[in-house]
Structure formats: C-alpha cells, structure tokens
C-alpha cells in the first residue's frame, strides 16, 4: 500500500546521469528518509515526483497516477524544496495568500497554517527579516495550505540550530502520526535517525540500501 512509487527512474542532464533506474516506495503513516551525498539525485527525484521535471525513463506516481504539478489546483502533495529562497519583500501572511492563489487554493486556511507552524505572532512581519528556521516553517505552512496527505521535504533542517532541528522533527513525526506520507531528504544520517522510520540511501542516482532505520543502524 505504497503512496509514492518511484520505478526505474532515469534522468540525464547532458552528460551527467542524475538518476540511474532509481526505485523505491514511500508508505502512509511513515517518514521515509531519503539519504545521500550532495549530487546523489534527491532533489531531482522530488522534482520529478512533483511533475516539475520529466524523467528520461521510468515513472513516479502518487496514489497510482503521475502527479500533474504544483501549479494545478490540487490538494494531494505539498512540498518544501528550498525554503531559504523565499522572496523577502512581503509579509508572511501575504506570501501565503499569494501562494494559495498561485495554487488555486482558497486563502481561508492561511491563518490556520501559520498557527500550525508557530508563526502567528510574526504573520505581519516581512519575510526578509526571518531566520532560516522561520523560513523553513513558512515553507512548511505553504505546503500545508491544501491539507495534502503527501508531503515532500528537501533538506529542511540543513543549517538549522538544534532547537530548529528538533522542532521540525516533532512536526514531521506528527504528520506521520496523522497517517500522512512523508518523504524527507538529507545528506546526513544524523538528521534522519530520530525522525525517519525507514531510510532509502541513494548514491549516484541508484538506491544502495532501503531498510527500516533499526536495521540500518547495525550496518552503518
């Protein structure tokens, strides 16, 4: 009963093979860790799952169908790909209103998602003054606008302090406990070991290990 199914995904950029028959699944109620060094192909995989990039071969499906992209009105998948890149001029609440409009979603949930990530108090501050941790939370708020059952996070704790790491960990564990399917990438095992239920390890676009965290612990 996998929700995300990535099957034999292959992607080349010029002479670079980013993904080389990559295959794995992610199940509901779990945080699936997606571990690999920089350049291993994690972001490329997420972009393909989201329909933002096309594979040369293979398929990526969410609940049995190719996902049609973030720009459509849909509530199935939420993602935070690079929260640090958020444009700084606007207030947090306006950023989320813009994002809701761009995704064809009603803006009625903006206050709710700000509260979900603990940003209600700074809703009217400009995003340019936000710390990296606050930007990550804002990114997560945006991903929650459509209340999606599937959530993708690309290196969400990269550069955060221990409090920020713990905060995101608890939030992601909570999403899994709600029955959501969570895919969490990192280049550090230490960032996954208390958050992920399973870890898929990718090196040069290929899966080299796929196991429950407890099983991997002995081998690493």
Q: Look at the block and give the residue holding tokens 């995704």.
A: 103
Angle at 47 between CA 88 and CA 215, to 5 degrees: 110
Subset of 114-153 contacting ligand ADP (CB under 6 A): none
Question: Is the distance from CB of 5 to CB of 11 less than 8 angstroms?
Answer: no
Interaction of residue 188 with ligand ADP, rule CB under 6 A? no
In whole angstroms, the minimum distance from the beta carbon of 109 to ligand ADP comes to: 16
- CA 153 and chain centroid, separation: 2
Identity of the residue, 23 or 63, whose beta carbon is nearer to ligand ADP in the bound complex = 23
Identity of the residue, 24 or 149, whose beta carbon is nearer to ligand ADP in the bound complex = 24
Identity of the residue, 53 or 116, whose beta carbon is nearer to ligand ADP in the bound complex = 53
Interaction of residue 192 with ligand ADP, rule CB under 6 A? no
Identity of the residue, 43 or 195, whose beta carbon is nearer to ligand ADP in the bound complex = 43
Question: Is the distance from CB of 37 to CB of 203 less than 8 angstroms?
Answer: yes
Question: Is the distance from CB of 16 to CB of 2 less than 8 angstroms?
Answer: no
Subset of 16-75 contacting ligand ADP (CB under 6 A): 16, 18, 36, 38-44
Interaction of residue 105 with ligand ADP, rule CB under 6 A? no
Please work out the total of residues on this chain that contact ligand ADP, with binding judged by CB under 6 A.
Answer: 17
Q: Which of these segments, 22-30, 56-64, 87-95, 156-164, binds ligand ADP (CB under 6 A)? A: 87-95
Interaction of residue 108 with ligand ADP, rule CB under 6 A? no
In whole angstroms, the minimum distance from the beta carbon of 9 to ligand ADP comes to: 11
In whole angstroms, the minimum distance from the beta carbon of 44 to ligand ADP comes to: 3
Which token pair is 212?
A: 């429950």
Interaction of residue 195 with ligand ADP, rule CB under 6 A? no
Residues 152 and 131: their CA atoms lie apart, in Å, by 21
SS3 per residue for 111-151: HHHHHHCCCHHHCCCEHHHCCHHHHHHHHHHHHCCCCCCEE
Q: Look at the block and give the residue holding tokens 């990559």.
A: 22
Which token pair is 165?
A: 């790491």
Write out the residues near ligand ADP by the rule CB under 6 A: 13, 16, 18, 36, 38-44, 86-87, 90, 95, 98-99
């Amino acid at each position: 009963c996998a929700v995300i199914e990535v099957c034999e995904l292959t992607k080349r950029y010029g002479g670079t093979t980013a993904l080389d028959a990559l295959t794995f699944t992610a199940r509901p109620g779990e945080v699936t860790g997606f571990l690999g060094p920089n350049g291993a192909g994690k972001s490329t995989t997420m972009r393909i799952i989201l329909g933002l990039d096309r594979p040369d071969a293979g398929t990526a499906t969410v609940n049995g169908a190719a996902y049609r992209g973030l720009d459509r009105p849909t509530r199935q998948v939420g993602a935070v790909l690079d929260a640090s890149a958020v444009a700084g001029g606007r207030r947090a609440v306006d950023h989320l209103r813009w994002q809701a409009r761009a995704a064809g979603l009603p803006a009625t949930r903006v206050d709710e998602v700000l509260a979900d990530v603990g940003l209600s108090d700074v809703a009217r501050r400009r995003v340019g003054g936000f710390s990296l941790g606050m930007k990550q939370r804002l990114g997560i708020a945006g991903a929650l606008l459509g209340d999606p059952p599937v959530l993708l996070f690309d290196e969400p704790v990269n550069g955060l302090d221990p409090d920020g790491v713990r905060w995101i960990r608890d939030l992601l564990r909570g999403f899994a406990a709600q029955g959501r399917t969570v895919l969490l990438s990192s280049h550090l095992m230490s960032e996954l070991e208390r958050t992920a239920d399973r870890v898929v390890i990718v090196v040069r676009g290929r899966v080299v290990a796929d196991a429950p965290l407890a099983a991997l612990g002995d081998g690493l």
